[in-house]
Structure 1
Amino acid sequence: MFYSILKLAHLLAIVLWVGGMIFAHCFLRPSLGALEPPHRLRLMQDVLGRFFSAVLGAVIVVLASGAWMIGRTARQVAETGGSFQMPYAWITMAILGVVMAAIFGHIRFALYPRLDRAVQAAQWSDGANAMAAIRKWVTVNLALGVLTIAVIMLG
């Protein structure tokens, strides 16, 4: 039962993370074009601040639950006298998950503070540059997230 709950938490955290990126990148951002830069950047600063806090928790859940589930499977195989060979899809998922977490760390702890400082100082050009960098790395992470899901679902 614990394994099932952990797997559910793992999947829900991925839904929050990848689904949130899809929403922000494909729906929210294009809709903000009608706003003036100060209003657009203030809104994105607020939305991203809330989203990144949620994603930080999701990343912790994804990495911890993923590591636990792999470790549990390896331990069960070892207890039966077998030799654990992690499937290539799992290896790919684990590597891409760690890369995505590192990219998220860069976005959250390097790029977002630049946006936050620029908005606080009403430096709209600097804010736009920070937002462009965030958008670029979110696009990369979104592509990696979709690729990870495809690898797992298609085997």
Structure 2
Amino acid sequence: MLYNALKLLHVLSIIVWVGGMVFAHFFLRPAAQQLAPAQRVPLMHSVLQRFLAAVGAAVVVVLTSGLAMIGMVSMGGGFAMPWDWTLMSGVGLVMMAIYAYIYLALLSRLDTAVAASDWAAGGAALARIRTWVGVNLLLGTAIVVVVLLW
């Protein structure tokens, strides 16, 4: 029962993370492009602050639940982690590092630009964030496809 609860939390957190990236990348950003920079940049800043905070919580849950599930299965000795779990773990750690870069470096550039009403710098920060979110979206989608098809 505990393993199933951990797996549920793991999957729900991934849905928040990957699903949020899909929404932001394919629906919110294109709609926001119709706004003037003075409206678009603060809107995206506000959305990203909320989304990245939620992803931070999701990252903690994904990492904690994943390690707990690996630990539960490996108890008793003789455990060799399946290749798909190894792939999921490795790519997941890369995604977490990219998230940390977005949150710790790129979001602060956007914060500074919005505080200064520098819409060009804000647009540049958003473009960098969009690029890295796209990379994470590709990685997250690849993990889901590989794990579910093999």
Which ranges of structure 1 fall in alignment gaps of 5 or more residues?
Answer: none
Taking the TM superposition and a 5 Å limit, the aligned residue runs for 1:22-61 are 22-61=22-61
Q: Which of 94, 106, 113 in structure 2 is aligned with 1:111?
A: 106
Tell me whether 1:123 sits opposite 2:118 in the alignment. yes
Taking the TM superposition and a 5 Å limit, the aligned residue runs for 1:64-79 are 64-76=64-76, 78=77
Q: Which of 87, 90, 98 in structure 1 is aligned with 2:85?
A: 90
Distance 2:40 2:119 in 1: 10
Report the residue type matching 1:31 in the other structure.
A
Distance 1:33 1:45 in 2: 14
Q: Which of 116, 124, 133 in structure 1 is aligned with 2:128?
A: 133
Deviations 1:83-107 (A, max 9, x none): 2111110000000100000000000
Distance 1:15 1:23 in 2: 11
Report the residue type matching 2:132 in the other structure.
W
Report the residue type matching 2:111 in the other structure.
D
How many equivalent pairs are there?
Answer: 150
TM-score, structure 2 normalization: 0.98
SS in 1 for 2:81: coil
Give the C-alpha shift of residue 15 in structure 1: 0.1
Distance 2:146 2:66 in 1: 15
Distance 2:121 2:33 in 1: 18
Distance 1:27 1:108 in 2: 21
Give the C-alpha shift of residue 121 in structure 1: 0.5
* Percent of aligned pairs sharing the same letter: 50
Give the C-alpha shift of residue 34 in structure 1: 1.3
Give the C-alpha shift of residue 19 in structure 1: 0.1
TM superposition outliers: structure 1 runs of 4+ over 3 Å: none
Which ranges of structure 2 fall in alignment gaps of 5 or more residues?
Answer: none
Aligned CA-pair RMSD: 0.7
| Structure with greater Cα Rg | 1
Report the residue type matching 2:3 in the other structure.
Y
Give the C-alpha shift of residue 125 in structure 1: 1.0
Give the C-alpha shift of residue 4 in structure 1: 1.2
Give the C-alpha shift of residue 137 in structure 1: 0.2
Match of 2:2 in 1: 2
